Amino acid sequence: MSKPDPVDVLVIGAGASGAVCSLVLAQAGLRVVCLDQGGWTEPAQHPHYSDDFQYQRQNRWNPEPSVRRGPDDYPVEGGQSHALMWNGVGGSTNVFAALWPRFRPSDFRKGREHGLAPDWPITYEDLAPFYDEADRLIGVSGLTGDAGMPPRAPYPLGPLPMRKSGRTIAQGFERLDWHWWPMPAGIISDSYDGRAACNGCGNCGSGCPRGSMAKMSITLWPKALAAGAALRPGARVERIETGSDGRATGAVFIDRATGTRVQQDAAVVVLAANGVGSPRLLLLSESARHPRGLANANDVVGRYLLHHTLVAAEIWVDQPIDSHVGNSGAIISSEFAETDVSRGFVNGFNFNVARTGPAGTAAIGAFSQHPAPWGAAHHAWFARRFGHSFGAFAIGDDLPQASNRITLSGTETDSDGLPAAKLHYVPHENDLRMMRYGIERLRDLAQSVDAFDAAVNDYMEDGVYRTPAWHMLGTCRMGSDPGSSVVNQWHQSWEVPNLYVVDGSSFATGGVVNPTSTVTALALRCARHLAAGFRDAGRTAGTSA
Protein backbone atom coordinates (compact mmCIF):
# COMPACT_ATOMS: atom_id res chain seq x y z
CA MET A 1 0.00 0.00 0.00
CA SER A 2 1.41 3.36 -0.96
CA LYS A 3 1.36 6.20 1.53
CA PRO A 4 1.66 9.76 0.29
CA ASP A 5 2.62 12.62 2.59
CA PRO A 6 0.08 13.41 5.29
CA VAL A 7 -2.09 16.47 4.79
CA ASP A 8 -3.94 18.80 7.08
CA VAL A 9 -7.41 17.99 5.79
CA LEU A 10 -8.70 15.01 3.83
CA VAL A 11 -12.05 15.74 2.15
CA ILE A 12 -14.03 12.72 0.94
CA GLY A 13 -16.42 13.63 -1.86
CA ALA A 14 -16.04 16.38 -4.49
CA GLY A 15 -19.68 17.51 -4.68
CA ALA A 16 -21.14 20.79 -3.46
CA SER A 17 -20.08 20.52 0.18
CA GLY A 18 -16.69 18.95 -0.60
CA ALA A 19 -15.93 21.67 -3.13
CA VAL A 20 -16.83 24.43 -0.69
CA CYS A 21 -14.74 22.92 2.10
CA SER A 22 -11.75 22.31 -0.18
CA LEU A 23 -11.89 25.88 -1.46
CA VAL A 24 -12.18 27.57 1.91
CA LEU A 25 -9.62 25.38 3.67
CA ALA A 26 -7.10 25.70 0.83
CA GLN A 27 -7.57 29.47 0.78
CA ALA A 28 -6.79 29.42 4.49
CA GLY A 29 -3.40 27.92 3.68
CA LEU A 30 -4.13 24.37 4.76
CA ARG A 31 -2.89 21.35 2.84
CA VAL A 32 -6.06 19.80 1.43
CA VAL A 33 -6.59 16.59 -0.54
CA CYS A 34 -10.04 15.70 -1.82
CA LEU A 35 -10.89 12.18 -2.99
CA ASP A 36 -13.77 11.21 -5.24
CA GLN A 37 -14.54 7.79 -6.64
CA GLY A 38 -15.70 9.31 -9.92
CA GLY A 39 -14.01 11.48 -12.49
CA TRP A 40 -14.44 14.80 -14.23
CA THR A 41 -17.40 15.20 -16.55
CA GLU A 42 -16.27 17.27 -19.50
CA PRO A 43 -18.78 19.64 -21.12
CA ALA A 44 -18.84 17.58 -24.33
CA GLN A 45 -19.87 14.50 -22.37
CA HIS A 46 -23.19 16.07 -21.40
CA PRO A 47 -26.04 15.08 -23.73
CA HIS A 48 -27.10 18.65 -24.53
CA TYR A 49 -25.49 18.73 -27.97
CA SER A 50 -26.96 15.44 -29.10
CA ASP A 51 -30.39 14.72 -30.61
CA ASP A 52 -30.71 11.66 -28.34
CA PHE A 53 -30.56 13.78 -25.19
CA GLN A 54 -33.91 12.48 -23.92
CA TYR A 55 -32.86 8.88 -24.37
CA GLN A 56 -29.60 9.57 -22.55
CA ARG A 57 -31.53 11.04 -19.63
CA GLN A 58 -33.16 7.64 -19.21
CA ASN A 59 -29.91 5.68 -19.01
CA ARG A 60 -26.35 7.01 -18.82
CA TRP A 61 -27.59 10.41 -17.59
CA ASN A 62 -30.25 8.96 -15.35
CA PRO A 63 -29.91 10.61 -11.93
CA GLU A 64 -30.39 7.27 -10.19
CA PRO A 65 -27.20 5.22 -9.86
CA SER A 66 -29.00 1.89 -9.69
CA VAL A 67 -30.48 2.60 -13.12
CA ARG A 68 -27.42 4.29 -14.58
CA ARG A 69 -24.99 1.66 -13.28
CA GLY A 70 -21.97 3.63 -14.38
CA PRO A 71 -18.46 2.49 -13.50
CA ASP A 72 -18.13 5.27 -10.92
CA ASP A 73 -21.35 4.32 -9.14
CA TYR A 74 -22.31 2.02 -6.32
CA PRO A 75 -25.75 0.42 -6.19
CA VAL A 76 -28.43 1.73 -3.85
CA GLU A 77 -30.63 -1.24 -3.00
CA GLY A 78 -34.29 -0.81 -2.08
CA GLY A 79 -37.37 -0.13 -4.18
CA GLN A 80 -39.15 2.37 -1.94
CA SER A 81 -37.50 5.50 -3.17
CA HIS A 82 -35.05 6.87 -5.65
CA ALA A 83 -31.72 8.44 -4.82
CA LEU A 84 -30.52 11.34 -6.95
CA MET A 85 -26.77 10.97 -7.01
CA TRP A 86 -23.80 11.54 -9.28
CA ASN A 87 -20.46 10.10 -8.27
CA GLY A 88 -17.79 12.36 -9.70
CA VAL A 89 -16.30 15.83 -9.53
CA GLY A 90 -19.17 18.22 -8.82
CA GLY A 91 -21.21 15.40 -7.32
CA SER A 92 -24.95 15.56 -7.79
CA THR A 93 -24.76 19.12 -9.11
CA ASN A 94 -24.14 17.28 -12.39
CA VAL A 95 -27.79 16.17 -12.42
CA PHE A 96 -29.75 18.55 -10.21
CA ALA A 97 -32.21 21.35 -10.96
CA ALA A 98 -30.22 24.10 -9.18
CA LEU A 99 -33.31 25.43 -7.44
CA TRP A 100 -31.93 27.57 -4.63
CA PRO A 101 -34.59 28.49 -2.03
CA ARG A 102 -33.65 28.74 1.63
CA PHE A 103 -34.91 27.11 4.79
CA ARG A 104 -37.29 29.15 6.95
CA PRO A 105 -36.55 30.11 10.58
CA SER A 106 -39.22 27.70 11.85
CA ASP A 107 -37.56 24.80 10.00
CA PHE A 108 -34.84 24.91 12.66
CA ARG A 109 -37.32 24.86 15.53
CA LYS A 110 -39.60 21.86 14.93
CA GLY A 111 -38.78 20.47 18.36
CA ARG A 112 -40.22 23.52 20.04
CA GLU A 113 -43.08 23.74 17.58
CA HIS A 114 -44.44 20.21 17.87
CA GLY A 115 -41.81 17.83 19.22
CA LEU A 116 -42.23 15.21 16.49
CA ALA A 117 -38.88 16.29 15.08
CA PRO A 118 -35.86 17.81 16.80
CA ASP A 119 -34.67 21.39 16.97
CA TRP A 120 -31.47 22.05 15.11
CA PRO A 121 -28.57 23.15 17.35
CA ILE A 122 -28.35 26.29 15.20
CA THR A 123 -30.85 28.91 14.09
CA TYR A 124 -31.71 30.49 10.77
CA GLU A 125 -29.87 33.58 11.97
CA ASP A 126 -26.69 31.54 12.50
CA LEU A 127 -26.84 30.40 8.90
CA ALA A 128 -28.13 33.53 7.15
CA PRO A 129 -24.72 35.19 6.57
CA PHE A 130 -23.45 31.99 5.01
CA TYR A 131 -26.49 31.74 2.74
CA ASP A 132 -25.64 35.24 1.53
CA GLU A 133 -21.95 34.45 1.05
CA ALA A 134 -22.72 31.19 -0.74
CA ASP A 135 -25.12 33.02 -3.07
CA ARG A 136 -22.33 35.37 -4.11
CA LEU A 137 -19.88 32.51 -4.52
CA ILE A 138 -22.25 30.46 -6.67
CA GLY A 139 -24.08 33.21 -8.54
CA VAL A 140 -27.73 33.01 -7.53
CA SER A 141 -30.61 34.62 -9.44
CA GLY A 142 -33.70 35.87 -7.66
CA LEU A 143 -35.89 38.73 -6.56
CA THR A 144 -35.82 40.32 -3.11
CA GLY A 145 -38.91 41.53 -1.29
CA ASP A 146 -40.63 38.20 -0.70
CA ALA A 147 -42.99 38.66 2.26
CA GLY A 148 -42.95 34.90 2.74
CA MET A 149 -39.30 34.84 3.80
CA PRO A 150 -37.08 36.85 6.15
CA PRO A 151 -35.41 39.94 4.67
CA ARG A 152 -32.14 39.07 3.00
CA ALA A 153 -29.18 40.54 1.14
CA PRO A 154 -29.77 41.41 -2.52
CA TYR A 155 -29.39 38.53 -4.94
CA PRO A 156 -26.21 38.72 -7.02
CA LEU A 157 -28.37 38.45 -10.15
CA GLY A 158 -31.94 39.27 -11.11
CA PRO A 159 -34.53 36.55 -11.66
CA LEU A 160 -34.50 34.26 -14.66
CA PRO A 161 -36.95 35.09 -17.46
CA MET A 162 -40.55 34.39 -16.55
CA ARG A 163 -41.62 33.04 -19.97
CA LYS A 164 -45.15 32.04 -20.96
CA SER A 165 -45.36 29.15 -18.53
CA GLY A 166 -44.32 31.25 -15.53
CA ARG A 167 -46.86 33.94 -16.32
CA THR A 168 -49.65 31.39 -16.69
CA ILE A 169 -48.78 29.79 -13.37
CA ALA A 170 -48.50 33.15 -11.60
CA GLN A 171 -51.95 34.08 -12.84
CA GLY A 172 -53.31 30.88 -11.31
CA PHE A 173 -51.83 31.69 -7.92
CA GLU A 174 -53.22 35.21 -8.15
CA ARG A 175 -56.72 33.88 -8.71
CA LEU A 176 -56.36 31.67 -5.65
CA ASP A 177 -55.00 34.56 -3.61
CA TRP A 178 -52.03 32.36 -2.71
CA HIS A 179 -48.45 33.41 -2.20
CA TRP A 180 -46.08 33.02 -5.16
CA TRP A 181 -42.65 34.36 -6.01
CA PRO A 182 -40.01 33.89 -8.72
CA MET A 183 -37.98 30.82 -7.78
CA PRO A 184 -34.43 31.54 -6.57
CA ALA A 185 -32.04 29.61 -8.79
CA GLY A 186 -28.39 28.64 -8.81
CA ILE A 187 -28.55 29.48 -12.50
CA ILE A 188 -27.16 32.77 -13.70
CA SER A 189 -29.52 35.14 -15.48
CA ASP A 190 -26.62 37.24 -16.75
CA SER A 191 -22.92 36.65 -17.25
CA TYR A 192 -21.23 36.20 -13.90
CA ASP A 193 -17.76 35.31 -12.74
CA GLY A 194 -16.65 34.50 -16.29
CA ARG A 195 -19.60 32.22 -16.98
CA ALA A 196 -22.25 32.65 -19.66
CA ALA A 197 -25.88 33.39 -18.77
CA CYS A 198 -28.45 30.62 -19.06
CA ASN A 199 -29.97 30.45 -22.54
CA GLY A 200 -33.01 28.46 -21.44
CA CYS A 201 -32.07 25.24 -23.23
CA GLY A 202 -34.45 23.30 -20.99
CA ASN A 203 -32.18 20.36 -20.17
CA CYS A 204 -31.18 21.29 -16.61
CA GLY A 205 -31.60 17.75 -15.30
CA SER A 206 -28.52 16.56 -17.14
CA GLY A 207 -26.27 19.27 -15.77
CA CYS A 208 -25.07 22.34 -17.60
CA PRO A 209 -22.03 22.13 -19.85
CA ARG A 210 -22.14 25.92 -20.35
CA GLY A 211 -21.54 26.53 -16.68
CA SER A 212 -24.69 28.61 -16.34
CA MET A 213 -25.91 26.31 -13.56
CA ALA A 214 -24.09 25.83 -10.28
CA LYS A 215 -22.26 22.73 -11.47
CA MET A 216 -19.45 22.70 -8.93
CA SER A 217 -16.84 21.23 -11.25
CA ILE A 218 -17.13 24.47 -13.23
CA THR A 219 -18.12 27.01 -10.59
CA LEU A 220 -15.97 26.10 -7.58
CA TRP A 221 -13.38 23.45 -8.35
CA PRO A 222 -11.16 25.60 -10.60
CA LYS A 223 -10.95 28.11 -7.73
CA ALA A 224 -10.21 25.40 -5.18
CA LEU A 225 -7.44 23.99 -7.35
CA ALA A 226 -6.02 27.47 -7.90
CA ALA A 227 -6.00 27.95 -4.14
CA GLY A 228 -3.84 24.85 -3.78
CA ALA A 229 -6.31 22.07 -3.02
CA ALA A 230 -5.38 18.72 -4.53
CA LEU A 231 -8.13 16.62 -6.11
CA ARG A 232 -7.81 12.89 -6.79
CA PRO A 233 -10.60 11.62 -9.05
CA GLY A 234 -11.02 7.87 -9.35
CA ALA A 235 -10.18 7.40 -5.67
CA ARG A 236 -12.76 5.14 -4.06
CA VAL A 237 -12.53 5.33 -0.28
CA GLU A 238 -12.74 1.93 1.34
CA ARG A 239 -12.70 2.98 4.97
CA ILE A 240 -11.80 5.79 7.33
CA GLU A 241 -9.01 4.71 9.63
CA THR A 242 -8.70 5.50 13.32
CA GLY A 243 -5.79 5.32 15.75
CA SER A 244 -5.51 3.83 19.18
CA ASP A 245 -6.81 7.08 20.64
CA GLY A 246 -10.02 6.78 18.63
CA ARG A 247 -9.22 9.72 16.41
CA ALA A 248 -9.37 9.51 12.64
CA THR A 249 -5.98 9.13 11.04
CA GLY A 250 -7.04 9.33 7.40
CA ALA A 251 -8.52 6.93 4.88
CA VAL A 252 -7.62 3.99 2.70
CA PHE A 253 -8.76 4.31 -0.89
CA ILE A 254 -8.58 2.26 -4.05
CA ASP A 255 -6.91 4.00 -6.97
CA ARG A 256 -9.35 2.82 -9.61
CA ALA A 257 -6.90 3.43 -12.44
CA THR A 258 -4.34 0.98 -11.04
CA GLY A 259 -6.35 -1.07 -8.57
CA THR A 260 -3.81 -0.33 -5.85
CA ARG A 261 -4.65 0.73 -2.32
CA VAL A 262 -3.42 4.02 -0.94
CA GLN A 263 -3.40 5.25 2.63
CA GLN A 264 -3.86 8.99 2.89
CA ASP A 265 -3.21 10.28 6.40
CA ALA A 266 -4.61 13.58 7.58
CA ALA A 267 -5.02 15.60 10.76
CA VAL A 268 -8.72 16.13 10.05
CA VAL A 269 -11.15 14.15 7.90
CA VAL A 270 -14.13 15.90 6.30
CA LEU A 271 -16.77 13.48 5.04
CA ALA A 272 -18.85 14.99 2.23
CA ALA A 273 -20.18 11.98 0.36
CA ASN A 274 -23.94 12.77 0.52
CA GLY A 275 -26.81 11.44 2.62
CA VAL A 276 -26.33 7.89 1.38
CA GLY A 277 -22.58 7.74 0.79
CA SER A 278 -21.51 9.28 4.11
CA PRO A 279 -23.39 6.85 6.38
CA ARG A 280 -22.37 4.00 4.08
CA LEU A 281 -18.71 4.87 4.54
CA LEU A 282 -19.04 5.26 8.30
CA LEU A 283 -20.70 1.84 8.48
CA LEU A 284 -17.98 0.38 6.25
CA SER A 285 -15.38 1.74 8.70
CA GLU A 286 -16.29 -0.59 11.53
CA SER A 287 -13.47 -1.89 13.73
CA ALA A 288 -13.00 -3.55 17.07
CA ARG A 289 -13.17 -0.15 18.69
CA HIS A 290 -16.15 0.88 16.58
CA PRO A 291 -18.11 -2.36 16.09
CA ARG A 292 -21.26 -0.60 14.82
CA GLY A 293 -19.30 1.54 12.44
CA LEU A 294 -17.46 4.78 12.94
CA ALA A 295 -19.18 7.55 14.95
CA ASN A 296 -22.04 5.14 15.58
CA ALA A 297 -21.86 4.01 19.19
CA ASN A 298 -25.38 5.41 19.63
CA ASP A 299 -26.67 3.58 16.52
CA VAL A 300 -27.85 6.80 14.90
CA VAL A 301 -25.66 6.71 11.75
CA GLY A 302 -27.86 6.00 8.74
CA ARG A 303 -31.12 6.54 10.62
CA TYR A 304 -33.70 9.35 10.29
CA LEU A 305 -33.43 9.36 6.51
CA LEU A 306 -35.43 12.23 5.03
CA HIS A 307 -36.53 12.55 1.41
CA HIS A 308 -39.25 15.23 1.59
CA THR A 309 -42.85 14.33 0.89
CA LEU A 310 -43.76 14.74 -2.74
CA VAL A 311 -46.89 14.71 -4.83
CA ALA A 312 -47.15 16.23 -8.28
CA ALA A 313 -49.51 17.16 -11.07
CA GLU A 314 -49.11 17.75 -14.76
CA ILE A 315 -51.60 20.42 -15.77
CA TRP A 316 -52.67 21.09 -19.37
CA VAL A 317 -54.02 24.44 -20.53
CA ASP A 318 -55.51 25.58 -23.83
CA GLN A 319 -52.91 28.17 -24.71
CA PRO A 320 -49.39 27.15 -25.82
CA ILE A 321 -46.87 27.90 -23.05
CA ASP A 322 -43.66 26.36 -24.45
CA SER A 323 -43.41 23.59 -21.89
CA HIS A 324 -40.03 22.43 -23.18
CA VAL A 325 -37.93 25.54 -22.60
CA GLY A 326 -36.44 27.41 -19.68
CA ASN A 327 -35.20 26.29 -16.30
CA SER A 328 -36.77 23.68 -14.06
CA GLY A 329 -38.52 25.99 -11.64
CA ALA A 330 -40.10 29.32 -12.48
CA ILE A 331 -42.33 29.84 -9.44
CA ILE A 332 -42.29 28.94 -5.76
CA SER A 333 -45.29 29.24 -3.47
CA SER A 334 -44.94 29.23 0.30
CA GLU A 335 -48.67 29.49 0.95
CA PHE A 336 -48.68 26.25 2.98
CA ALA A 337 -45.11 26.25 4.29
CA GLU A 338 -45.82 26.82 7.97
CA THR A 339 -47.60 24.43 10.32
CA ASP A 340 -51.36 24.86 10.64
CA VAL A 341 -52.77 21.98 12.67
CA SER A 342 -56.28 22.75 11.45
CA ARG A 343 -55.18 21.01 8.24
CA GLY A 344 -54.73 17.78 10.19
CA PHE A 345 -50.95 17.57 10.20
CA VAL A 346 -47.84 19.35 11.39
CA ASN A 347 -45.18 20.84 9.12
CA GLY A 348 -45.89 22.23 5.69
CA PHE A 349 -45.00 22.17 2.03
CA ASN A 350 -44.07 24.44 -0.83
CA PHE A 351 -45.09 24.36 -4.45
CA ASN A 352 -42.35 24.24 -7.06
CA VAL A 353 -43.92 24.93 -10.42
CA ALA A 354 -42.37 24.92 -13.86
CA ARG A 355 -42.04 23.51 -17.33
CA THR A 356 -42.49 19.82 -18.07
CA GLY A 357 -40.19 18.77 -20.88
CA PRO A 358 -39.39 18.08 -24.52
CA ALA A 359 -41.44 15.94 -26.89
CA GLY A 360 -40.30 12.41 -26.09
CA THR A 361 -40.27 13.14 -22.39
CA ALA A 362 -43.83 14.47 -22.64
CA ALA A 363 -44.97 11.45 -24.65
CA ILE A 364 -43.63 8.90 -22.15
CA GLY A 365 -45.35 10.78 -19.33
CA ALA A 366 -42.10 11.28 -17.47
CA PHE A 367 -43.64 13.91 -15.25
CA SER A 368 -47.14 12.59 -14.66
CA GLN A 369 -46.55 8.86 -15.23
CA HIS A 370 -49.39 9.07 -17.76
CA PRO A 371 -47.89 8.26 -21.16
CA ALA A 372 -49.54 9.33 -24.37
CA PRO A 373 -51.94 6.79 -25.85
CA TRP A 374 -50.62 4.59 -28.63
CA GLY A 375 -52.29 4.01 -31.97
CA ALA A 376 -54.60 6.26 -33.90
CA ALA A 377 -55.19 8.60 -30.94
CA HIS A 378 -51.51 9.32 -30.32
CA HIS A 379 -50.92 12.26 -32.63
CA ALA A 380 -54.12 14.07 -31.71
CA TRP A 381 -53.11 13.72 -28.05
CA PHE A 382 -49.68 15.11 -28.81
CA ALA A 383 -50.90 18.01 -30.94
CA ARG A 384 -53.36 19.02 -28.21
CA ARG A 385 -51.03 18.67 -25.25
CA PHE A 386 -47.39 19.15 -26.17
CA GLY A 387 -46.25 22.61 -25.21
CA HIS A 388 -49.45 23.19 -23.28
CA SER A 389 -48.52 21.81 -19.87
CA PHE A 390 -46.77 22.74 -16.69
CA GLY A 391 -45.79 20.69 -13.70
CA ALA A 392 -46.39 21.38 -10.04
CA PHE A 393 -44.71 19.65 -7.11
CA ALA A 394 -45.89 19.88 -3.52
CA ILE A 395 -42.66 19.29 -1.63
CA GLY A 396 -43.04 18.87 2.12
CA ASP A 397 -41.17 18.43 5.37
CA ASP A 398 -41.31 14.72 6.25
CA LEU A 399 -40.94 13.62 9.86
CA PRO A 400 -37.68 11.91 10.83
CA GLN A 401 -38.13 8.27 11.81
CA ALA A 402 -35.38 6.01 13.13
CA SER A 403 -36.69 3.14 11.02
CA ASN A 404 -36.07 5.05 7.78
CA ARG A 405 -32.44 4.40 7.23
CA ILE A 406 -29.39 3.54 5.20
CA THR A 407 -27.68 0.25 5.98
CA LEU A 408 -25.18 -1.93 4.16
CA SER A 409 -26.49 -4.36 1.60
CA GLY A 410 -25.96 -8.02 2.35
CA THR A 411 -26.11 -8.97 -1.30
CA GLU A 412 -25.00 -6.18 -3.62
CA THR A 413 -21.56 -4.63 -3.96
CA ASP A 414 -19.84 -2.00 -6.05
CA SER A 415 -17.25 -2.94 -8.67
CA ASP A 416 -14.55 -3.16 -6.00
CA GLY A 417 -16.57 -5.53 -3.83
CA LEU A 418 -17.58 -2.96 -1.21
CA PRO A 419 -21.12 -3.50 0.09
CA ALA A 420 -23.73 -1.34 -1.60
CA ALA A 421 -26.05 0.94 0.33
CA LYS A 422 -29.47 -0.37 1.27
CA LEU A 423 -32.27 2.16 1.65
CA HIS A 424 -35.48 1.77 3.62
CA TYR A 425 -38.12 4.50 3.64
CA VAL A 426 -41.80 4.50 4.62
CA PRO A 427 -43.63 7.80 5.16
CA HIS A 428 -45.09 8.70 8.55
CA GLU A 429 -48.87 9.06 8.93
CA ASN A 430 -48.32 12.82 9.16
CA ASP A 431 -46.52 12.75 5.81
CA LEU A 432 -49.38 10.85 4.18
CA ARG A 433 -51.91 13.36 5.47
CA MET A 434 -49.83 16.23 4.14
CA MET A 435 -49.55 14.58 0.73
CA ARG A 436 -53.30 14.00 0.53
CA TYR A 437 -53.88 17.65 1.40
CA GLY A 438 -51.28 18.69 -1.17
CA ILE A 439 -53.05 16.74 -3.90
CA GLU A 440 -56.26 18.65 -3.26
CA ARG A 441 -54.40 21.95 -3.47
CA LEU A 442 -52.81 20.84 -6.76
CA ARG A 443 -56.33 20.28 -8.05
CA ASP A 444 -57.20 23.80 -6.90
CA LEU A 445 -54.26 25.11 -8.89
CA ALA A 446 -55.35 23.24 -12.01
CA GLN A 447 -58.82 24.72 -11.69
CA SER A 448 -57.42 28.20 -11.21
CA VAL A 449 -55.66 28.16 -14.59
CA ASP A 450 -58.74 26.78 -16.38
CA ALA A 451 -56.91 23.56 -17.14
CA PHE A 452 -58.59 21.21 -19.59
CA ASP A 453 -56.93 18.26 -17.86
CA ALA A 454 -54.69 17.46 -14.92
CA ALA A 455 -52.93 14.23 -14.01
CA VAL A 456 -52.10 13.90 -10.34
CA ASN A 457 -49.26 11.66 -9.30
CA ASP A 458 -49.23 10.40 -5.70
CA TYR A 459 -46.33 8.04 -6.43
CA MET A 460 -48.24 5.12 -4.95
CA GLU A 461 -47.67 1.73 -6.55
CA ASP A 462 -49.60 -1.22 -5.15
CA GLY A 463 -50.16 0.74 -1.95
CA VAL A 464 -46.46 1.55 -1.54
CA TYR A 465 -45.22 5.13 -1.71
CA ARG A 466 -42.29 5.07 -4.11
CA THR A 467 -41.05 8.60 -3.85
CA PRO A 468 -38.86 10.21 -6.45
CA ALA A 469 -38.19 12.94 -3.92
CA TRP A 470 -34.53 12.46 -4.72
CA HIS A 471 -33.14 14.28 -1.70
CA MET A 472 -31.14 12.27 0.82
CA LEU A 473 -30.92 13.98 4.18
CA GLY A 474 -30.70 13.43 7.91
CA THR A 475 -28.66 10.24 8.13
CA CYS A 476 -25.83 11.72 10.25
CA ARG A 477 -27.89 14.42 11.85
CA MET A 478 -26.59 17.28 13.91
CA GLY A 479 -27.90 17.94 17.38
CA SER A 480 -27.18 19.15 20.88
CA ASP A 481 -27.42 15.71 22.45
CA PRO A 482 -24.63 13.20 21.80
CA GLY A 483 -27.10 10.41 22.47
CA SER A 484 -29.45 11.22 19.61
CA SER A 485 -27.26 12.84 17.00
CA VAL A 486 -24.05 12.07 15.11
CA VAL A 487 -22.44 15.52 14.90
CA ASN A 488 -22.59 18.76 16.82
CA GLN A 489 -23.48 22.20 15.52
CA TRP A 490 -20.12 22.43 13.74
CA HIS A 491 -20.60 19.07 11.97
CA GLN A 492 -18.01 17.55 14.28
CA SER A 493 -18.51 13.93 15.26
CA TRP A 494 -19.31 13.48 18.93
CA GLU A 495 -17.36 10.24 18.93
CA VAL A 496 -14.42 10.97 16.62
CA PRO A 497 -13.62 14.62 17.23
CA ASN A 498 -11.38 15.18 14.21
CA LEU A 499 -14.07 13.81 11.87
CA TYR A 500 -16.57 16.22 10.32
CA VAL A 501 -19.64 15.20 8.33
CA VAL A 502 -20.54 18.07 6.02
CA ASP A 503 -23.34 17.24 3.59
CA GLY A 504 -27.10 16.73 3.55
CA SER A 505 -26.78 13.91 6.02
CA SER A 506 -26.15 16.49 8.76
CA PHE A 507 -29.66 17.98 8.43
CA ALA A 508 -31.82 17.54 11.54
CA THR A 509 -35.00 18.20 9.53
CA GLY A 510 -35.59 18.56 5.82
CA GLY A 511 -37.47 21.82 5.45
CA VAL A 512 -39.81 22.40 2.51
CA VAL A 513 -37.28 23.28 -0.17
CA ASN A 514 -34.62 21.77 -2.40
CA PRO A 515 -31.62 21.36 -0.12
CA THR A 516 -28.48 22.35 -2.02
CA SER A 517 -28.50 26.00 -0.97
CA THR A 518 -28.59 24.87 2.65
CA VAL A 519 -25.99 22.14 2.07
CA THR A 520 -23.68 24.78 0.60
CA ALA A 521 -24.28 27.36 3.32
CA LEU A 522 -23.72 24.78 6.06
CA ALA A 523 -20.49 23.63 4.41
CA LEU A 524 -19.28 27.20 4.17
CA ARG A 525 -20.07 27.82 7.83
CA CYS A 526 -18.29 24.63 8.90
CA ALA A 527 -15.24 25.30 6.72
CA ARG A 528 -14.85 28.85 8.02
CA HIS A 529 -15.05 27.54 11.59
CA LEU A 530 -12.58 24.77 10.88
CA ALA A 531 -10.13 27.09 9.15
CA ALA A 532 -10.31 29.68 11.91
CA GLY A 533 -9.61 27.19 14.67
CA PHE A 534 -7.64 24.55 12.83
CA ARG A 535 -5.06 24.06 15.57
CA ASP A 536 -7.87 23.28 17.99
CA ALA A 537 -9.84 21.20 15.51
CA GLY A 538 -10.29 17.67 16.60
CA ARG A 539 -10.39 18.34 20.27
CA THR A 540 -13.38 17.14 22.23
CA ALA A 541 -16.51 17.73 20.21
CA GLY A 542 -18.42 19.10 23.17
CA THR A 543 -15.84 21.73 24.04
CA SER A 544 -15.06 23.03 20.57
CA ALA A 545 -18.69 23.69 19.79
Partner 1 sequence: MTHDDDDMLRGLIDTLLPGGHGFPAAGATGMAGQLAARLNAADTALLGRLHTGLRTQGALPGGAEAWHDTVARLEASEPKLFDEVRKHAYLTYYEQPGVIAAIRALGFRYNDAPLPEGYPAEPFDAAADAPRHARGHWIATEQVQPVDTNRLGLEATP
Nearer to partner 1, 63 or 538 (CB): 63
Indicate the helix (H) or strand (E) that contains 379. helix 378-385
Residue 177 touches partner 1, criterion: CB under 8 A: yes
Nearer residue to partner 1 within complex by CB, 104 or 525: 104
For 306-324, b/e burial (b = at least 16 CB within 10 A) is bbbbbbbbbbbbeeebebb
Can residue 509 be called a binding residue for partner 1 (CB under 8 A)?
no
335 near partner 1 (CB under 8 A): yes
Under the binding rule (CB under 8 A), the answer on residue 287 touching partner 1 is: no
**In the complex, what is the shortest distance from the CB of residue 531 to partner 1, in angstroms, rounded to a whole number?**
27
- HSE, CB side, 13 Å, CA atoms: give it for residue 31: 9
Binder among 259, 374, 462, 463 for partner 1 (CB under 8 A) = 374
Number of residues that bind partner 1 (CB under 8 A): 95
Alpha helices in 449-503 (DSSP H): none
Q: Restricting to residues 10-69, which ones interact with partner 1 according to CB under 8 A? A: 48-55, 58-59
* Helix 516-532, helix 124-138: angle, nearest 10: 100
Among 114, 136, 232, 443, binds partner 1 (CB under 8 A): 114
d(C-alpha 3, C-alpha 338), whole Å: 52
- Does residue 259 touch partner 1 according to CB under 8 A? no
244 burial (CB, 10 Å; 0-12 / 13-18 / 19+) is exposed
Q: Which is nearer to partner 1, 151 or 417 (CB)?
A: 151
Residue 236 or 355 with smaller CB distance to partner 1: 355
405 part of the interface to partner 1, by CB under 8 A: no
Among residues 213, 220, 325, 486, which is the contact residue for partner 1, using CB under 8 A? 325
Kindly tell me which residue out of 70, 129, 161, 482 binds partner 1, with binding defined by CB under 8 A: 161
Amino acid making up residue 533: G
According to DSSP, residue 47 is labeled: G
Of the candidate residues 29, 71, 243, 320, the single one contacting partner 1 (CB under 8 A): 320
Is 189 an interacting residue with respect to partner 1 (CB under 8 A)? yes
DSSP calls for 363-374? HTTTTTS-PPPP
- Paired with 270 in beta bridges are 11, 500
Pairing verdict, β 32-36 and 230-233: parallel
263/339 with CB nearer partner 1: 339
**403 lines the binding site for partner 1 (CB under 8 A):** yes
Angstrom distances, CA of residue 371 to CA of 165, 313, 360, 469: 21, 14, 10, 20
Q: Does 386 bind partner 1 (CB under 8 A)?
A: yes
Residues of span 350-369 touching partner 1 by CB under 8 A? 358-361, 363-364
Binding segment toward partner 1, per CB under 8 A, in 198-206, 288-296, 441-449, 498-506: 198-206
